[in-house]
Structure 1
Amino acid sequence: MSAVPLDVVDQIASQHPSQPPVAPHVHISLNVRGLSQSSTLAINEHSARLERAGRKVFRMGLGQSPFPVPASVVEALKANAARKDYLPVRGLEPLREAVAAYHRRTQGVARTADDVLIGPGSKELLFILQLCFYGDLLVPSPSWVSYAPQAAIAGRQQRWIDTRREDGWRLTPEGLDAACCHDPDRPRILILNYPSNPLGVTYSEAELRALARVARRYGLVVLSDEIYGELHHQGAHASIARWYPEGTIISGGLSKWAGAGGWRLGTFCFPPQLRGVLDAMAVVASESYTSVSNPIQHAAITAFDGGPEIQRYLDRSRRVLRQVGPAIAARLRAAGCHLDEPEGGFYLFPDLGDLRERLAARGIHDARLLCERLLTDTGVAMLPGSDFGRSPAELSLRLAYVNFDGAAALEGAAALNDAAVADAGFLAEYCADCMAGIERMAQWLEAL
């Protein structure tokens, strides 16, 4: 390119005196109006600010696994730390085969490496799925906080399917049928998360069979979010893919059962009938995140391959959660909350509706204000049920019982009897902070 002649430069300069130029008006248009930061991350940051200010905070807002990454997986990461090359967009082939073998081994679902997509967390994979699949999103209420906002960002129609307390807040076949029957041929994705965040409950095989029949009737794509599957407290998780294999995408990863949330590795396992969806997602992945960290993918093979050490880690994790969850539920029930018995994961969903009159006398009429008052008065940080799709007026809360030293608890769990349900000594030694927070909350409720 030739230079601009000096006489032209002088001419331009003479027409524009040397005062600072007036900046043009910058036009900004956003397509995420009305959305805010994920509430689970926001409560964690708010708790950190309070702690820096000297407050004692019992962190029961963010659902981050308290357990360390299994030692063998950490060693595998160290051994592969020098790997620096980009990996295939769909994921490292040995890892994809390990994931497929994991689903064959644990659920009897026939899948191959070609059916697996690796992403930087299952959250990112879910978002790309919604970008690629042109259809509505069906989400049971209550559900995890990011499902609905992702649909809004992707420009998809999202519909809550209401559930009832008397059903344990589980989606019923009748509820699913009612959401689909008015337009039976409309493309839809059903998100089914179990064991559930925020509920801590799961589905029986009979319930999954019944839901599978309805899903097949309407040709739904089921995104089966089984990220907490290995944290079923009895080790008895069952996937709906057993009964609806042709339409189910199984979502998983390392964040919950392997304690590796910050590693950001998620997996989607597709049926061959949905290979076109996988291919489309891989295209979007190639133009967005390119591939997941090379060392982490190599280390993840060790996790999905399983073996005696991983099994021992899972057995002890479940023992700990079987101790903490039921003990908290029993204490809060005694204080007036309605709670279902926890079956998996590390969440509870207390409903304080039976205390509505006493709370109203304290000026508390909705769940968000209830959370604010609990944090102010007791230091217990939780989230309102309204963040999970419930009515703001419903006095429900999501509680994550993760504020204990998971590494120490795993060591202590070696001495626990598998059949034991409550061990006060174990809870006092390894989960004292968690139980202290619940005791403060229970006493606050009893004093209303």
Structure 2
Amino acid sequence: YARLLGRPVFHVPTPAECGGVPDPYALLETVRRVRAEGGDPRLLVLSVADDPTATVAPPEVLHEAVEAAAAEGLHLISDETWRDTLHAPQDTVLVSPAEMLPDRVTVVSDLAGALLPSGWPAAVARLPDTATGDDLHARVLDVLTALDARVAAPVATAAAFALTEPEPVTARVESAVRLHARVAAAVHAAVVAVGGLALPPRAGRHVYADLGPLREPLAARGVGDAQDLEDLLTARLGMPAPGGHRFGDDLGALRVRLCTGPLLGGTDAQRTECLTSPSPLELPHVERALIHLRSVLDDLRDDAQRREPPR
């Protein structure tokens, strides 16, 4: 989006334990280097419950990143779309940057992440309660008005209702989180079983797989980068499998995001059945989808084993 507006974007590496939050030392180095070259970085975009990696930033890592950003005078944009989808809330501590630096953080959330159906576009932003926040609020409204960016009336009504967090909505969200957590764990296990790498999913509806260890057999299939990997797995799995280059990773890295949603069925009836079943992974259509996923991944591992020289 920034590039479409003609704004420069500077990527900063993330720490090993999570995505969505910059390594504080890399952030400081990047900001100072860019300024020394005549640039003017002013915003840091981060996500404590990250898409695509499905990780949650530990509070201490987030605190160091926020302190580094504050020291450099950056305004923070905190994408918290997936904060209400923690797989194990009792084991995972999620802290918002707005709790640490309320005067310099704007929180944004796509309500389709947890509260609304995916086809109902609506998002909200919470701006700082300061004079600067008031100015930013006015500028945002000017831009939205110029773009004629409106939320359709039925969607706006549903969004306003969902934001009050009534019991029917929260109950459905909790059921959906449990369901996607179980499916994500199965997908993660399938990736690891074939020698791929992936951080355990902690939130959201994705698993971010690094298939770099399978580079040799993938190369034999004509896969040399993330776009090739996306094309191969999308065709084989019969569902979107966007490559890591779409999320800022290097094109040469063999990373791909695997979503849990398509594994739950193609009809509303099937997805509803998943939400209400005590054993969703044992439902025939879900079981078939997971078997197919494992088969596609196993095929790569088996190919690698066939290529190993005899001992």
User: What is the DSSP-based 3-state SS (H/G/I as helix, E as strand, rest coil) of the residue aligned with 1:222?
Assistant: strand
Q: Is the 8 A contact 1:339 1:348 kept in 2?
A: yes
Q: Residue 352 in 1 paired to residue 211 in 2? A: yes
Aligned residue number for residue 286 of structure 1: 145
Which deviates further from its counterpart, 152-161 or 368-377? 368-377
Aligned residue number for residue 260 of structure 1: 117
Which protein is bigger by CA-based radius of gyration? Answer: 1
Residues 111-131 of structure 1 deviation map (CA, whole Å, 9 limit, x = unaligned): xxxxxxxxxxxxxxxxxxxxx
Matches of 1:253 and 1:385, distance apart in 2: 21
Q: Is the 8 A contact 1:163 1:171 kept in 2?
A: yes
**CA distance 1:434–1:205, shift in 2 (3 Å):** farther
Aligned residue number for residue 396 of structure 1: 255
Q: Residue 410 in 1 paired to residue 275 in 2? A: yes
Q: Is the 8 A contact 2:206 2:258 kept in 1?
A: yes
Residue identity matched to 1:336? G
Q: 2:293 aligns with which of 405, 413, 438?
A: 438
Q: 2:169 aligns with which of 302, 305, 310?
A: 310
Offset at residue 380 of structure 1 (A): 5.0
Aligned residue number for residue 97 of structure 2: 240
Identity across aligned pairs (percent)? 23
Aligned residue number for residue 221 of structure 1: 75
Matches of 2:50 and 2:272, distance apart in 1: 24
Q: Is the 8 A contact 1:230 1:237 kept in 2?
A: no
Offset at residue 290 of structure 1 (A): 5.8
1:319-330 matches, within 5 Å, as 319-330=178-189
1:46-125 matches, within 5 Å, as none
Offset at residue 369 of structure 1 (A): 1.5
Matches of 2:239 and 2:150, distance apart in 1: 39
Q: Residue 428 in 1 paired to residue 279 in 2? A: no
Q: Is the 8 A contact 1:208 1:243 kept in 2?
A: no
Matches of 1:368 and 1:327, distance apart in 2: 25
**Structure 1 unmatched runs, 5+:** 1-149, 416-424
User: What is the DSSP-based 3-state SS (H/G/I as helix, E as strand, rest coil) of the residue aligned with 1:350?
Assistant: strand
Q: Is the 8 A contact 1:257 1:314 kept in 2?
A: yes
Aligned residue number for residue 331 of structure 1: 190
Offset at residue 378 of structure 1 (A): 4.9
Q: Is the 8 A contact 2:116 2:162 kept in 1?
A: no
Matches of 2:52 and 2:217, distance apart in 1: 25
Q: Is the 8 A contact 1:379 1:437 kept in 2?
A: no
Residue identity matched to 1:446? R
Q: Residue 172 in 1 paired to residue 16 in 2? A: no
Offset at residue 177 of structure 1 (A): 1.5
Offset at residue 323 of structure 1 (A): 0.7
Runs of 4+ that moved beyond 6 A: none
Residues 134-162 of structure 1 deviation map (CA, whole Å, 9 limit, x = unaligned): xxxxxxxxxxxxxxxx1121111111113
Aligned residue number for residue 223 of structure 2: 364
Q: Is the 8 A contact 1:378 1:444 kept in 2?
A: no
Aligned residue number for residue 11 of structure 2: 160
Residues 330-380 of structure 1 deviation map (CA, whole Å, 9 limit, x = unaligned): 111011100110010011111111122232233322122223233444545
**CA distance 1:300–1:372, shift in 2 (3 Å):** closer
Q: Residue 189 in 1 paired to residue 46 in 2? A: no
**CA distance 1:369–1:411, shift in 2 (3 Å):** same
**CA distance 1:351–1:312, shift in 2 (3 Å):** same
Residues 398-436 of structure 1 deviation map (CA, whole Å, 9 limit, x = unaligned): 111111143222111xx4xxxxxxxxx530216234313
Offset at residue 204 of structure 1 (A): 1.7
Residues 50-72 of structure 1 deviation map (CA, whole Å, 9 limit, x = unaligned): xxxxxxxxxxxxxxxxxxxxxxx
Aligned-residue RMSD, C-alpha? 2.2
Q: TM-score scaled by structure 1?
A: 0.60
User: What is the DSSP-based 3-state SS (H/G/I as helix, E as strand, rest coil) of the residue aligned with 2:186?
Assistant: helix
Q: Is the 8 A contact 1:401 1:434 kept in 2?
A: no
Q: Is the 8 A contact 2:208 2:257 kept in 1?
A: yes
Matches of 1:304 and 1:354, distance apart in 2: 43
Offset at residue 264 of structure 1 (A): 1.7
Aligned residue number for residue 52 of structure 2: 198
Q: Is the 8 A contact 1:191 1:222 kept in 2?
A: yes
Alignment length, in residue pairs? 287
User: What is the DSSP-based 3-state SS (H/G/I as helix, E as strand, rest coil) of the residue aligned with 1:153?
Assistant: coil
Q: Is the 8 A contact 1:333 1:339 kept in 2?
A: yes
Matches of 1:172 and 1:356, distance apart in 2: 27
Residue identity matched to 1:410? L
Matches of 1:351 and 1:301, distance apart in 2: 39
Q: Is the 8 A contact 1:227 1:251 kept in 2?
A: yes
